[in-house]
Amino acid sequence: MNYRHAFHAGNFADVIKHIVLVRILTYLQEKPAAFRVIDTHAGAGVYDLSGEEASRGGEWLTGIARLMQARLSDAAGPLVAPYLDIVRAFNPQRGLEAYPGSPLIARALLRPQDRLVACELEPVARKHLIGALRRDTQARVVDLDGWVALPAFVPPKERRGLVLIDPPFERKDEFDRLASGFAEAFAKWPTGSYLLWYPAKSRRATDDLARRVAVATGGGTDKCRRLEFSVAPQTADGPLTSAGLLIVNPPWTLMADLKTILPELEKPLGQGGAARFRLA
């Protein structure tokens, strides 16, 4: 499949991925030492929800738009609020017109001592990302293939931080590249946190990816957590309705946060019925 960010901005997969991203970065903020975020496939930075790409499928209407209208409990609401506040900051007028991608969400959570490296090879997307981060001394846009950047930029000098690996899955061997690229980076920086996103269309492919990542980390369940979220049954030729995350070296608070948040997303994000999630 080809998962171009612009066509899917603000959909259910973005919502889940970005809530987890914000929870991890919020945790990293709790210690004064600097951290770095490395986004290997950064995309354009900000997406026009009324633009041609986002409008084609209108996936944001069953993703971020529904979450913005959902009533969350007193337990889940404060955990999701930092993410929603970032989205609202890009929409100062009422309604939803723009959606921030991962690098802009990460940038919103950097303190003065923190840094962001955003890698984007596609020229148009890179141009938009540079425009979104222009004159930002804490963020660097790199014209480099994310798979080359992944082992090249670790460990960062801060020795704390997160690597987000969110490729477009344009090639048939993308799962293999994700597993092998992560293993190479983890061998160089085993104390960093990693967030690996993948489309969950093939159980064999996703199980194999999870197994290889677990082996690379030493096989301990505490080092690698797996989250999959499905808004409807996945069909081989249908649109993406299931996506997953592998979270390596997660904050110790993350699992409890997700156990509070995820059940409350099943109803608003479900399509033709309640969504379902798997957390292990």
Please identify which of the residues 166, 176, 208, 257 carries the catalytic annotation. 166
Asked if 226 and 280 touch (Cβ cutoff 8 Å), the reply is yes
Q: How far apart are CA 8 and CA 63, in angstroms?
A: 10
Q: How far apart are CA 185 and CA 183, in angstroms?
A: 6
- Alpha carbon 74 to its chain's center: 25
Total residues belonging to the chain: 280
If DSSP codes are grouped into helix, strand and coil, which group holds residue 242? strand
Q: Is 237 a catalytic residue?
A: no
162-179 CB burial, b ≥16 within 10 A, e <16: bbbbbbbbeeeebbebbb
Q: Which residues are catalytic?
A: 166
